[in-house]
Chains A and B, each alone.
Chain A
């Protein structure tokens, strides 16, 4: 009788844990991902006044008086994420927009400096916009980044970009004065990111001879008129350890997960050691159209 009670209790606990994980991580990892606690870029959240993002290993204590604004849209089919939107809780005088662009789906490779310079050119074309500070390399929270300041119609803005895990992570600040802008830029000194080891990110790893076994997904995936971007993590044994379907319908997610779980790769080797690798690939008829800038 007692044994039956223990078995029931254990089963109940296990079930609860599964439910919590399913609620927390959704279909991205259950049942596709082999490892249940692998985060994705959009999984960041604010707790105790600090924005944390496990995927980017990023932590940003929000400036005094700031809190979460309205959540942004779901990840786009060009691999663009709105990570967070932070605003003063008292009055709408400033905003901090944190975003990320997956570089695997951002067209031809551009480094952070090139992206910032292109952005500066783009903003200089905007009506009534002034460039207040030319693109320059800065250090934010001990990380190399690029910064450009611009203003117009009474709004003072700055964009700071850095690269983490083959994503361009950007912070766009909008304020009503240049002093406020500088203060918000300074708040980024408290940001920390990417201190722990992460998989090596490699563009087009799933397109070349590294693929040992490939299984085509179901027709509802390949016939999609819009591209479906996917990030995968390949384990040291060459199997797919994690699948992150960035944007798709539920049916397409299932089809892609079912197929990719059967793919195998040559393990990636660095200095004689096999390491985990992270790469991107796209499904659907519109895959050639996957592109995006910052």
Chain B
């Protein structure tokens, strides 16, 4: 009995020792051995969603009308469907503010059965997952497809009497491994991107060409088949302009035909009952705060909204500072310094003034270090920090330095990220360098929203055939402290 008790006591003591040792190791081990942790979505006010500062009164009024239209919810009489992914622009573009990207709660789940619709929510759409569109890689005969296959149909809706089309067979296509996904791209600051000249982009790409080539990186632009100029919008830079981006999304995502895309994708006459284009350029204006906006088609207003939307504000910077960076290097440095005085919510969490100051100082240091490391190991070879816009008709956007953290070129991202979809000059493994401005407040990462973890997003950059392999290897060779600094820096953007 005594022997058994002794054994029992020993066993308990051993277990307790192991547990204590585990806690001690996990608490006190140096960061190098613990590995970095994504601090998570930066809290506080949304650093985006406002109007670009310095617009004229007329431009400001135009923006406000455009913003309202961007938030309109479409019914069938407005042009919704017959096939669609969502019923408004803002539903997809809303994180962390209007104009952004996929929100925490996916509105596609509710829209599936709105107004009596009988859609089955596909397995890849979840309430807490990213807003997604689906593309099929191949047609049944094996030829390339690559097109968007809308998730939902208007069948059963109380505003779609007589329509009886079905959803695509997503389960079947999934079982054939034939479905790939895209999530919404944020639209903040895109007026600056649109007004950047091709020459500025080419110069920027060539400027650090030597560094790129020492890292195994090349990159190229996806050029328009129409005029040969650089396309810059969309995951594969497949869209030339904000107007094209708007027109294509209005028809493909919501199903509203328009001046750029005037034909229904679903031709069933019992469903496609509207006249076309469903959203034409109005010949009469209803008046309102912006007389000129009243004569604009919806797609022109969407484009204007995105064009006049301010860029994301890094943590610690004021919107004005972020948007009014000038051409001088000194000024750009000032903006970065402001950005680096960020507070990462997960890293802070102290209450006393002294502790807060200390935490902020510490966070500033780690964000500064993170920026250095980010640049030094080669992330910035593609995620180019700064560009300067060209001469723009909107004077406030003219010749302004901005920090998109993208070269707007497409790069081979390897097998792991490949979606097998070719668009223009971008092949199945190529993607445009995702602009990182605002990444601190994004929830879902990579083109298909496959992860919410920045560290995992970095890891996914490496695979057979990827131009990013060497940079990811550099990242992996860093100390844990420096890898953490990179994540902290990214969450400050």
Contact = CB atoms under 8 A, between A and B. Distances in A.
Asked if A pairs with B, the answer is yes
A122 B210 contact: yes
A111 B224 CA distance: 34
B225 A94 contact: no
A59 interface: no
B465 A74 contact: yes
A71 B373 contact: no
B469 interface: yes
Interface string A115-129: 100110011001111
B477 A93 contact: yes
A154 B482 contact: yes
Contact of A286 (B223, B373, B375): B223
Given A70-B414, A76-B218, A97-B216, A225 B228 contact: yes
B87 to A, nearest CB: 35
For A70, A159, A294, the residue with the greatest tally of chain B CB atoms inside 10 Å of its CB is A70
B467 A73 contact: yes
B54 to A, nearest CB: 30
Contacts, number: 135
B467 A92 contact: no
Interface in B205-243: 206, 208-211, 213-216, 218-221, 223-225, 228
Contacts of A80: 213, 218
A154 B414 CA distance: 27
Interface string B172-187: 0000000000000000
B474 interface: yes
B12 interface: no
B373 A172 contact: no
B473 A69 contact: yes
A129 B210 CA distance: 15
A78 interface: yes
A94 B473 CA distance: 8
For A72, A77, A129, A294, the residue with the greatest tally of chain B CB atoms inside 10 Å of its CB is A72
Interface string B455-468: 00000001111110
Given A76-B218, A129-B376, A289-B202, A154 B467 contact: no
Contacts of A291: 206
A152 B477 CA distance: 12
A152 B378 CA distance: 11
Interface of A: 69-74, 76-78, 80, 82, 85, 87, 92-95, 97, 99, 101, 115, 118-119, 122-123, 126-129, 152-155, 159, 170, 172, 174, 176, 223, 225-226, 285-286, 289, 291-294
